[in-house]
A and B are shown apart, each in its own frame.
Chain A
Amino acid sequence: SAVISQKPSRDICQRGTSLTIQCQVDSQVTMMFWYRQQPGQSLTLIATANQGSEATYESGFVIDKFPISRPNLTFSTLTVSNMSPEDSSIYLCSTRHSTDTQYFGPGTRLTVL
């Protein structure tokens, strides 16, 4: 199994600012994903973080709002830019392994005031 850590675990931010969330995996993985889980809702895929190339975004999510970096096979960052209260969510990093099992990080709980 993979151990995934995220930093920060939670944050409270002011409107208009940006927050970068870090995701660290204890082993090299091919596929890394970023999800958002709004209060009382299920998980929504934001993007697939591709190592060495630009992330692949899902419908409704754009790079200017959610820039993603993936410098190597164990690390990725997601930035939530120019935040508004509607961005208040749990942001989850996830990996998928060759066994087709998907693992999730503990999440970053973001509150935007």
Chain B
Amino acid sequence: KNQVEQSPQSLIILEGKNCTLQCNYTVSPFSNLRWYKQDTGRGPVSLTIMTFSENTKSNGRYTATLDADTKQSSLHITASQLSDSASYICVVSRPSGTYKYIFGTGTRLKVLA
């Protein structure tokens, strides 16, 4: 069964600290993996996208890694800010033909001052 599991479900950290969010998937065949940030009451916004051959991708203080062999990805947030408080969603897609986005349940991050 094609699934995307994220951990932890929720996380609270102090401003300025780093954190890492995990995403494990069983989707096959695999096309690419995205991380989205979803602010409360808003639609998701893409942070990074990685294909099978990419191991890491950065977007400012956000760095995503991908291990296609173990089917694991992580999103590392450096020097967290209050504005990082949001849900982070891992999305895995399959190649066109059976093209479907499979969404993880998300990690809810709260950054405290």
Name A's B-contacting residues (CB within 8 A): 4, 41-45, 90, 92, 94, 100-107, 109
| Interface 9-residue window, one of B37-45, B56-64, B66-74, B78-86 | B37-45
Bound: A101/B91 CA distance, A? 12
* A41-B105, A42-B89, A42-B106 given; A104·B41 CB < 8 A: no
B111 contacts across to A, CB distance below 8 A: none
Query: Of the candidates A42, A90, A103, which one forms a contact with B104 in the assembled complex, judged by CB atoms under 8 Å apart?
Result: A42
Find the B residue at minimum CB distance from A43: B103
**Contacts A42-B106, A43-B89 given: A105-B101 contact, CB under 8 Å?**
no
For B81-113 the 0/1 string (1 means CB < 8 A from A) is: 000000001010000000011011110000000
Q: Is B27 in the interface zone, CB < 8 Å from A?
A: no
- In Å, the complex CA distance between A94 and B34 comes to 15
Nearest 6 CB-CB pairings of A with B: A104-B43, A42-B103, A42-B105, A43-B103, A104-B44, A107-B43
CB closest residue in chain A, given B104: A42
The smallest beta-carbon distance between B14 and chain A, in angstroms, is 24
Contact check, B101 vs A100: say whether CB atoms are below 8 A apart: no
Kindly report which residue of chain B lies nearest to residue A93, judged by CB atoms: B43
